Structure 1
Amino acid sequence: MTLYTIDTGFFKLDGGAMFGVVPKTIWNKTNPADENNLCTWAMRCLLVEDNNRLILIDTGIGNKQDPKFFSHYYLHGDANLNSSLAKHGFSADDITDVFLTHLHFDHVGGAVEREGEKLLPAFKNATYWSNKQHWDWAVNPNDREKASFLKENILPIQESGQLKFIDTKDGVQFTKDFNVRFVSGHTDSMMLPLIGYKGKKILYMADLLPSVGHLPLPYVMAYDMFPLKTLNEKKIFLNEALEKEYILYFEHDPVNECCTLQQTEKGIRVKDTFKLNEL
């Protein structure tokens, strides 16, 4: 197995929304905001080369939305999904599986592209993976979350016939060294890949833990549907990761790709940060 970091660029989100009840005077020290109170965040995906399968975990925000939509998010940076795949010698047509942790627009937007007037899967030869519980949640969204579930990102996947569902069973095996963990604080039935790699376990944090700055337990996003559930899930996973020496892989941290953990008098905190290719 080989793992590759896939950078798809940066975007900006409101710092207060990203840190919930935590005061700006605290979070601004680690994630400084601009004059509009916006912080920069990565959209970092992961590519898993596993025997004859090439599995892409999440797809970034994509490029098919209109300028008004993108004006809210201030996309920047030199990387995009296709250029990052090409950097490692791959193209969209090489992808065999697209594993979607959840269906919010900054995770699934690149899964579908616009061809003329049609919306089609961007990965023609891939099977797309979600789970039925989350899919149903996304296609019948609540009023608070529906702005994150865009039908143009989601429905073309099902209409193509390329969609399959993973059993919603915590720890279910996706491949030999790729298991799936489930959490529901951020959104219902979000999937976290737990991957065995070079004798280590790498936990892809998705939106349970967007960045190193979110390690303290009360640092829960205002975007989360069930913040107390998120807090409890963080506690469980951080304790498990500390005990079993997992490496955490961050999708949204603008600087840090990976970290290990240590116990401190303030709780579980970062031990070391590093890039995936340094393993």
Structure 2
Amino acid sequence: MNLYPIETGNFKLDGGAMFGVVPKSIWQRTNPSDANNLIDIAARSLLIEDGDRLVLIDTGLGNKQSDKFFGYYNLWGDHSLDASLAAHGFHRDDITDVFMTHLHFDHCGGSIEWNDDRTGYRPAFKNALFWTNENHWKWATEPNVREKASFLKENLLPMEESGQLRFIERSGAMFQKESELGFSIWFMDGHTEKQMLPQITYKGITLVFAADLVPTVGHIPLPYVTGYDTRPLLSMDEKARFMQTALEQNLYLFFEHDAHNQLCTLKETPKGARVNTIFTFEELFNS
């Protein structure tokens, strides 16, 4: 097995929205904002090469939305999904499976692209299966008012129409040791219904793709949940249970949304779990 971090692009989000009830005077210590209160956000994917299977976890925002749409998110930097794949010797046509932690546009927008004459949409990974779970698919395709702007039909329906959509089979437990893709999965309901966090052991280290349970290093303390979470009290309960396991089992957190930190370990303090050591992927696995 080999793992590769895939940088699909960077954008910005409102710091207050990303930290909910936490005051700016506190969150800006770890996530400084610009004059418009916007903080740096990454859309970092993870590529798993395992035998004949090449699994991409999340796909970023993509590039098919309008300039007006992207104008809300202040895209910055020069990362792209294709360039990042190419840097590791891969092309999007090599991808056999796309695993989506959830279907908010910043996690699955890159899964779908315009067709050649821009009259409709098609999967951006023509040889891949697209994996979500049945509960979340129903949640996303019949959205509540709060999340409707995050679940875009053009990101979702082409997966089903192409016949490439698949559902992960669930045991019903919060932590599922087995999945069709060979890794374990945490199921979390606080941010959105049945968000899935992959847990992977690689070179003796077990890491968890933290997605929107812990978007950045600044979100490690339990009350620091985003204003986007649909069930914030549940998010805190899920995070507490997850963090306890992470401390006990020395799990490493792989950050999808932290533009400046890729991975970290945790330590236990009187105030709960806190960041211990921050690593780049290169430092941790290739030094």
TM-score strictly above 0.5: yes
Q: Deviation per CA, 1:63-100, whole angstroms, max 9, x where unpaired?
A: 00001100000111111111100000000100000000
Aligned to 1:67: 67
- Residues of 2 paired with 1:39 and 1:247: CA distance? 24
Return the offset for 1:266: 2.1
The corresponding residue for 2:132 is 130
Aligned to 1:251: 256
Q: What amino acid is aligned across from residue 261 of structure 1 in structure 2?
A: L
Deviations 1:12-69 (A, max 9, x none): 1110000000000111111111111111101000000001100000000000000110
* Aligned residue number for residue 156 of structure 2: 154
The aligned runs of 1:13-92 (5 Å cut-off) are 13-92=13-92
Deviates more, 1:81-90 or 1:173-182: 173-182
1:1-279 map, 5 Å? 1-115=1-115, 116=117, 117-169=119-171, 170=173, 171-174=176-179, 177-277=182-282, 278-279=284-285
| Structure 2: gaps (5+ residues) | none
Say which SS state the counterpart of residue 209 (structure 1) adopts: coil
CA contact (8 A) 1:133 1:168 kept: no
Partners of 1:76 and 1:48 lie apart in 2 by 26
- AA paired with 1:166? I
User: How far has the Cα of 1:168 moved from its partner?
Assistant: 2.7
Distance 2:260 2:208 in 1: 18
Spell out, residue by residue over 1:132-188, the C-alpha distance to the aligned partner (whole angstroms, 9 max, x if none). 000000000000100000000010010000000001334052257511110000000
What TM-score comes out, normalization by structure 2 length? Answer: 0.95
TM-score (norm 1): 0.98
In 1, the alpha carbon distance for the partners of 2:83 and 2:214 equals 26
* CA offset digits 1:239-279 (Å, max 9, x no partner): 10010011110000111110111111221111111012322
User: Displacement, 1:109?
Assistant: 0.2
SS of equivalent residue, structure 2 residue 206 = strand
- How many angstroms apart in 2 are the aligned matches of 1:70 and 1:14? 14
Contact (CA 8 Å) 2:169, 2:179: kept in 1 or not?
no
One-letter identity of the residue aligned with 2:121: L
Partner-residue secondary structure (3-state), 1:220: coil
SS in 2 for 1:229: helix
What root-mean-square deviation, in Å, do the aligned CA atoms of Structure 1 and Structure 2 show? 1.0
SS of residue in 2 equivalent to 1:193: strand
Question: Identity, % of aligned pairs?
Answer: 57
Partner of 2:244, secondary structure, is: helix
For the residue of structure 1 that corresponds to 2:242, the secondary structure is: helix
- Alpha-carbon distance between aligned partners in 2 of 1:215 and 1:128, rounded to the nearest angstrom: 30
One-letter amino acid of the counterpart of residue 127, structure 1: L
Runs of 4 or more, structure 1, over 3 Å off, are none
Letter in 1 for 2:130: Y
Amino acid in structure 1 at the alignment position of 2:223: P
The residue type paired with residue 123 of structure 1 is: F
Aligned residues: 279
User: Which blocks of at least 5 consecutive residues in structure 1 are unaligned?
Assistant: none
Letter of the 2:68 counterpart? K
Q: Deviations over 1:199-252 (max 9, x none)?
A: 121111110000110011110101000000000011000110010011110000
Distance 1:131 1:172 in 2: 16
**AA aligned opposite 2:183:** F
Aligned residues of 1:11 and 1:73 also touching (Cα < 8 A): yes
